Amino acid sequence: MKHVGLLFPFVLCFAALFSFTVNCYASEIVLQQNWGSNPYYGCTDAWLDVGMKYNNGGDPALHVQWDNGYSDDTVMKFDLTGQIPANQQITSATLSVYYVYAGGFENNNAITIQAFRVGAGKGWFENTGINLNGQGVNWDYRDQYENQVWTNKDGGWSDKVDDGDGIVKIKKTGGTPQDAIAPMNWANWDVTNTVSLWYGGTENDGFLLAATGFVGSGSSAYGEFDSKESERYNWYYRPMLTIDYVPEPATLLLLGLGGVMLRKRS
């Protein structure tokens, strides 16, 4: 017990040093298409119209729908190449998409929307269409020339991976579900698990936003969200990916000890 008592001040000192170093070296990046003083151009998105081979990569709106089960969904990718230094640990990542319109909702309705990861090897071509027949990602195909299919031609539903990331519920303005958000608000998904996997080397083929549940009477409703093509309020409401990170623990320890040594020398 005597030895434990002697170690206790050392443990407290180490914990304080580690916490101080974490705070000093914590960083955040916000990725949003062509916005801010240092514009980012690595976002692509499109909504997939259930059962249709129309490309909507250029639509300023994104759709997610529940219609007695799966229906319209949205794919979205943020290229992370060169955005985060090596030897970092992702502490949080949030996908933010601006919810603008509720279609077909009754007062007691809410749709649950989950953020999934598009499985590796299922890359897709955004293109710039609005109800353009073929020539880009759609419900059946992923590529420009309709050679690469989504598994089962189901809008990515069979190719999505559940990493345990967040869910969001949406409703109409004045809707009664208390845990759902109304239009003209940001929908925020915790996507820390997926972004951590991408940073660790898993192939990044983007997110798939899909309706996974429905509350209330009726059987169909949909939400519209601003896409990367949106020009609402000078583009401020385009999708965002916010990532917080710190150096890995071993790197943090070295940085902290290095700081202590420098202070002693001075």
pLDDT by residue (tens digit) across 83-136? 999 999 999 999 999 999 999 999 999 999 999 999 999 999 999 999 999 899
pLDDT of residue 139: 98
pLDDT, tens digit, 9 for 90 and up, residues 148-163: 999 999 999 999 999 9
How far apart are alpha carbons 264 and 133 in whole angstroms?
A: 69
Mean local confidence (pLDDT), 48-63: 97
Neighbours of 120 (CB within 10 A): 13
Per-residue pLDDT band for 7 (boundaries 50, 70, 90) equals very low
Mean pLDDT, residues 178-189 taken together: 98
Per DSSP, helices labelled H in the chain are 2-25, 192-199, 249-265
Spatial distance between the Cα atoms of 120 and 152, rounded to a whole number of angstroms: 16
**What pLDDT shows up at residue 24?**
66
Q: How many residues are present in the chain?
A: 266
Dihedral sign for Cα atoms in the order 26, 80, 116, 202: negative
Paired residues of 111 in beta bridges: 170, 214
Backbone angles phi, psi at 65, to 5 degrees: -135, 145
CB 95 within 8 A of CB 207: yes
E strands of the chain, at which residues?
27-32, 43-48, 54-55, 61-67, 73-78, 88-103, 110-118, 132-133, 160-161, 167-170, 185-190, 207-215, 220-226, 240-247
Do 93 and 115 form a contact (C-beta atoms < 8 A)? no
pLDDT at 5 over 60: no
* Both structure tokens of 246: 């710190």
DSSP lists the bridge partners of residue 149 as: 141
Distance CA 51, CA 99 (A): 24
